[in-house]
């Protein structure tokens, strides 16, 4: 492809933020609010099929896990969760995934546009950029598309469509980097090619529509290759040259 733009998902893709970031922050907010419910790892894994923190709380409530809360209660609880998440990020708890910084820098050095398309809130995204990536990336990313900026979250295509429209790039020239089936479905529905790096929560999901599925982008070869429909060769680690062959 004539690669002109790479749009990165955040949670699970740039960093493993879910288990020891978002999940812990939800539980801290629940405890502070006097809510007995705790999301253990398995429960949270199942809840990840619902994207968006407020939507996840509402879903758990409908399933009988959470007590009855008004929309305003949910919004306040989620705001406290975001504050706890920012605190965890500031403590430097969540590093980038292997190969992420290397590939981000390679794409930047090639002069290719990069942006973010995520379901999480701008506040959570900013905390990750500031504490895990580095403040200079606020300027390097051409767009930070996050949270409630579009009405429908992933797997709807809206966040990718919004980012491409703002940047003035075509889907045919844009690649998405994702970690989940919901993210892949969102990218594909927006017409993008998509690379998936799986993690513990997403490994068993359906990624047959992806253009490449690996366990990680990698700093050291070899990376584990799970799905390689374009039959890329020399996949020791995932490089810009590989992305340009998709
Ligand atoms: C992942 C998500 C988010 C986070 C929580 O989004 O589903 O909902 O788990 O985020 P992505 P908030 O992989 O697209 O970044 O609580 O801030 O909504
Ligand atoms: Mg994700």
- Annotated catalytic residues are 9, 11
- Kindly report, residue by residue over 158-182, the tens digit of the pLDDT: 999 999 999 999 999 999 999 999 9
Q: Closest ligand 1 atom, CA of 26?
A: 16
Q: Is the CB of 11 under 6 A from ligand 1?
A: yes
CATH fold for domain 5-16+95-244? Rossmann fold (3.40.50)
C-alpha to C-alpha distance for 246 and 47, rounded to whole angstroms: 32
Weakly modelled stretches of the chain, pLDDT under 50: none
Distance 244 CA to ligand 1 centre (A): 28
Q: What pLDDT, on a 0 to 100 scale, did the predictor assign at position 117?
A: 98
Q: What pLDDT, on a 0 to 100 scale, did the predictor assign at position 242?
A: 98
Instruction: Give the distance, in angstroms, between the CA of residue 119 and the centroid of all CA atoms in the same chain.
Output: 7
3-class secondary-structure state, position 149: helix
C-alpha to C-alpha distance for 83 and 79, rounded to whole angstroms: 6
Q: Is the CB of 157 under 6 A from ligand 1?
A: no
Query: Angle formed by the axes of helices 71-90 and 23-32, to 10°?
Result: 120
Identify which of 10, 11, 97, 183 to mutate to test ligand 1's pocket (most ligand atoms within 8 A of the CB). 11
Cis peptide before 155 (omega within 30 of 0): yes
Most distant CA pair in the chain, distance: 54
Q: What pLDDT, on a 0 to 100 scale, did the predictor assign at position 76?
A: 98
Listed in order, the ranges of the chain carrying CATH 3.40.50.1000 are: 5-16+95-244
- Kindly report, residue by residue over 223-243, the tens digit of the pLDDT: 999 999 999 999 999 999 999
The owner of tokens 């075509």 is 170
Q: What pLDDT, on a 0 to 100 scale, did the predictor assign at position 93?
A: 84
C-alpha to C-alpha distance for 161 and 178, rounded to whole angstroms: 15
Q: Model-level pTM? A: 0.97
Identify which of 9, 39, 53 to mutate to test ligand 1's pocket (most ligand atoms within 8 A of the CB). 53
Listed in order, the ranges of the chain carrying CATH 1.10.150.240 are: 18-90
- Report the CATH architecture of 18-90: Orthogonal Bundle (1.10)
Q: What pLDDT, on a 0 to 100 scale, did the predictor assign at position 11?
A: 97
């Amino acid at each position: 492809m004539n690669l002109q733009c790479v749009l990165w998902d955040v949670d699970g893709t740039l960093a493993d933020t879910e288990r020891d970031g978002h999940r812990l922050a939800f539980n801290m907010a629940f405890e502070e609010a006097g809510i007995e419910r705790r999301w253990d790892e398995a429960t949270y894994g199942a809840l990840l099929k619902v994207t968006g923190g407020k939507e996840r709380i509402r879903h758990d409530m409908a399933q009988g896990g959470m007590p009855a809360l008004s929309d305003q209660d949910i919004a306040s609880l989620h705001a406290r969760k975001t504050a706890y998440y920012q605190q965890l990020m500031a403590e430097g708890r969540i590093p980038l995934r292997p190969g992420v910084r290397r590939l981000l820098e390679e794409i930047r050095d090639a002069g290719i546009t990069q942006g973010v398309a995520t379901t999480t809130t701008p506040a959570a995204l900013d905390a990750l950029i500031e504490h895990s990536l580095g403040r200079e990336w606020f300027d390097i990313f051409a767009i930070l598309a996050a949270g409630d900026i579009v009405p429908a979250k992933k797997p709807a295509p809206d966040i990718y469509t919004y980012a491409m429209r703002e940047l003035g790039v075509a889907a045919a020239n844009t690649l998405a980097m994702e970690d989940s089936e919901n993210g892949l479905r969102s990218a594909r529905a927006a017409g993008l090619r998509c690379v998936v790096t799986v993690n513990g929560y997403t490994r068993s999901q359906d990624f047959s529509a992806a253009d490449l599925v690996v366990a990680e982008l990698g700093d050291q070869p070899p990376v584990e290759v799970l799905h390689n429909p374009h039959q890329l060769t020399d996949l020791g680690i995932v490089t810009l040259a590989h992305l340009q062959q998709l």
